Structure 1
Amino acid sequence: MFTGGAWGMVFRFRKSVRIAPGVRINLNAKSASVRVGPKGLGYTVSTTGKKRLSASIPGTGLSYSEVVSSKRRPVPSAPSQLVASQTKPSSKGPLALVLLAIGAGLVWCSTPYNETPGFVQPNLKPATAEPDPRASQGTDAYAGPAPSVQKTLYSTANVRLRTSPSAESQIVLTVPVGSAVLSSKREGSWHHVSYGNYSGWILGDYLAEPGTEPAATPSPVAPLVSSEQPASDSNTISGRATIIDGDTIDIAGTRVRFNSIDAPESAQLCRNSKGKNYRCGQSSAKALDAWLAKSRPVTCTFIDWDRYGRFVGDCYRSDGTAVAGWLVTAGHAMDWPQHSGGAYAGHQDEARLARRGIWQGEFQPPWEWRAAQQAPKPETTNPVRLLSGSCDIKGNISNKGVRIYHLPGQRFYDETVISPAKGERMFCSEDEARADGWRRSKR
């Protein structure tokens, strides 16, 4: 048998039902009530006639609740029976409010989502839609296709591929002029591209849309060291030159190394005619800058790529004068036998006899100076080989094509005449002559 307390547990009933946004019906065994209002603020009307106004701040524990009296002030002239009936709680009004709330909830739920009165549908787009171009407008906004669209472009110069969209970032490699690259996205003026097995960033100034026949990728061609006019083909680069050192310039972001010659390095010291040290590398660079400024632009014909990824070429001023030939003749650079085959030996002999530039005093050949800087410093070293304007060993080519050099005092020295046009030249030491493939005369 259940006790009174047990029966109370059995018939205890409470239910809260949300019938519409902001409208909730609360049911229990004794009464029903309707609560209207958003979270934290509500007005509750019960079937018992009680009305309650409540407010709270979610998450803080702060709340306020007040019971709103349902009694009406008596009218002075009304009978006492009427006043009593007006002060008695009535269940019809609250019950009607509950039924009205249920009806409103049913109407709310049956109304389509996008037709709800007062509801403004947000401007939603599917995740696959293209981004709104207005969202990214700015000084570096990409006015082209969406960033995810891949596009084929062509390089308009020998341009460097970099690890990040910055001119100060590391260079991956040099992309030859006319090469096709696949652009996948863009940041400001920079394109992220794929080139073969490499990827990186290229400045958009050096990329062009397809539409015209792209220039062919350059390939090594035979040296044109004897020409005094630049070749007019696709393997050329032209523009205003920025001087890097006596044998290297920069044109539109591409480093160009002059073919077949070698100039003193920027930090290299030479001795002038008075025996004083001076920076001969800096003197060569300044002289080159002043000379090129008299006839711009510079045009260079591609020969090869060196181990540093530089464009090696034969370069000319706008008036057609060969840059390398002028540098050697003016004494600001040397013929580089390892790469030239003696092509500028005649120019060098002219500078040496006139004691121009580095030939005014003593100096170390640039390639030997670089090797000395890279080699470990032993406790005892061999004397540095210095060249000067007194190079007097004659390199002669016989009728049979044999290359022989004559020392001062030998039998045929005085009657030997050097002809640079035939490839004959002067040497400053026997080591230099032998290293270049010449042998000593027996008489």
Structure 2
Amino acid sequence: MAFRFRKSVRIAPGVRINLSAKSANVRVGPKGLGYTISTTGKKRLSASIPGTGLSYSKGVSSKRQSAPGAPSQLDASQTKPSSKGPIALLLLAIGAGLVWCGAPSNETKIASERFPTNGSEQPKLKPATAEPDAGASQVTEAYAGHASSVEKTLYSTANVRLRTSPSAESPIVLTVAVGSAVMSSKREGPWHYVSYGNYSGWILGDYLAEPRPEPAATTSPIAPQVPSALSTSDNTISGRATIIDGDTIDISGTRVRFNGIDAPESAQLCQNAKGKKYRCGQSAAKALDAWLAKSRPVTCTFVEWDRYGRFVGDCYRSDGAAVAAWLVSAGHAMDWPQLSGGAYASYQDEARPAKRGIWQGEFQPPWEWRAAQQAPKHETTNPVRLLSGSCDIKGNISNKGVRIYHLPGQRFYGETVISPPKGERMFCSEDEARAAGWRRSKR
């Protein structure tokens, strides 16, 4: 039994070397079509249809046709096949295959650049300076370089819902209008925890983008930029007001929050005199818009910048009427004692007995309504406290026998419990409480 040696080696896509005991050849071409060159000088072209058994093969002659008039006999060097050409071609094919196999593919290069395995530092990518493609997704912009613990301003790309937890099934706090700025402080997967005005909650990152470049990081706080409509000499801002909600307006692109008061939120529901629910926050915003339209423009004096970067100020119509005082006296907002020190309490005392605005029925103070929206429902064990236009002033007696009454919104109002057996009682107005010998709490 004779021993036959045959070996076929693929050295590159479409290039294969076939070795035997007597010769070697190189086959070039895709599956079903090939051109074979042997070290003996033979050349063959073959074609086949895989899986059918149909094939065609033809030898290719390397002899040149004689020119007309040339002698018919050729010398020995021309009739004997030369092996130098095929051998050189064979060596060239082997070398090309070695280079091909040794060079990494494009995918390998990209992977090695993105995820280096030798511990070397990843290449720093320069931010793109060209305008982004209009059809490109903005999600990448919202996520790129955004650490979960770094505060960053993002902008909504659609009317998006703010939710109480990072889940599409969680309760909705409110809808954030397209183009609104939100402050993202952390992230869980595709969800961002953001602050929007007086609200906080979760927004899906697919609807957030970062169209503006962020300033370089610094260890010192960044002072808010002074808007073009703000006079640096007297710290005032003036212009036509766009209503955001019952206690916030926009002047020339600057959000202005009224100082010392708190109006119901846009999504907040109250009860009217007939017990029917209505959106008291929207009613306050509409009433404010109509009232400001009677005497434009609005001028606001700067008080401070709040934690949301808003201009907090005392605002007035062009006829000099105070905006905050009118909102409280009309029953569209409440005096916020923690911030105002009771500056608008007298206006609230007028609105409550007259049952104006929110005082016509029952409602929840705006600051308590916001806290209830942010707190998990399983932790809300206490019943919701509702105020009304009558008999919600708490008159209690201290351990020293001092008679003090507490108004809704004051610091100790929520924790004060009235005990009738001790002589404590509820009052419907401050005049009634003072006439009965009670004095107002200072906090």
**TM-score of the alignment, normalized to the shorter chain, above 0.5:** no
Provide the TM-score with structure 1 as the length reference.
0.42
